[in-house]
Amino acid sequence: MVALALMTVIISLGIPAFSGWRNKQDTEGQCRAMVRHLSFARMKAYTEKKSVGILWDNSIEAFVSYSVVEDANGDGDIVDSGADKVILQEVTRFPWKVSSAWKVLTFDCRGFASTDNMTFQIDGGSDAAGILDCVVVMRTKIQVGSWNGSQCVSK
């Protein structure tokens, strides 16, 4: 009986810690997936010499899904519904906030981003200090970091 009571106490103490650990892992995993998809779009644009990028719905403050899209009709953009090719679609657990009013980030045939310093930040993920929860896309590089309340600090 004492052993059962002791096990119950140990398990009840471990559940919040496990929940926090899982939340942290999910937040960092989502951030790494965004970096992989952005890097994939950049590499595909460079190797195939066509515009490739990500497209999301920013009709609300944050978005929970995005698509990697390839310019299939050669007009240089990826927003032509039905004319451009969706390569992959991602639905995320936590919403993303983006520092731009645009709903698209395109990489040109040289692999350069269409905008400089676009920041993606996970909203509502783990609030533990120092975790990877934001991505900054510059013209020539993609960096992952930790949100400090006002900006993404590279790791």
Choice between 11 and 147, residue whose per-residue pLDDT is larger: 147
Q: How far, in Å, CA of 133 to CA of 57, rounded?
A: 20
Q: Is 32 helix (H, G, I), strand (E, B) or coil?
A: helix
- 15 within domain boundaries: no
Q: Which residue range is the domain that position 82 belongs to?
A: 26-154
Q: Is the pLDDT of residue 130 over 80?
A: no
- 146 within domain boundaries: yes
Q: How far, in Å, CA of 59 to CA of 63, rounded?
A: 8
- 7 within domain boundaries: no
Are the C-beta atoms of residues 134 and 80 closer than 8 Å to each other? no
Q: The pTM is what? A: 0.85
CATH number for the domain harbouring residue 146: 3.55.40.10
- pLDDT single digits (tens) 82-124: 789 999 999 998 999 998 878 899 999 999 999 888 999 998 7
Number of structural domains, the chain? 1
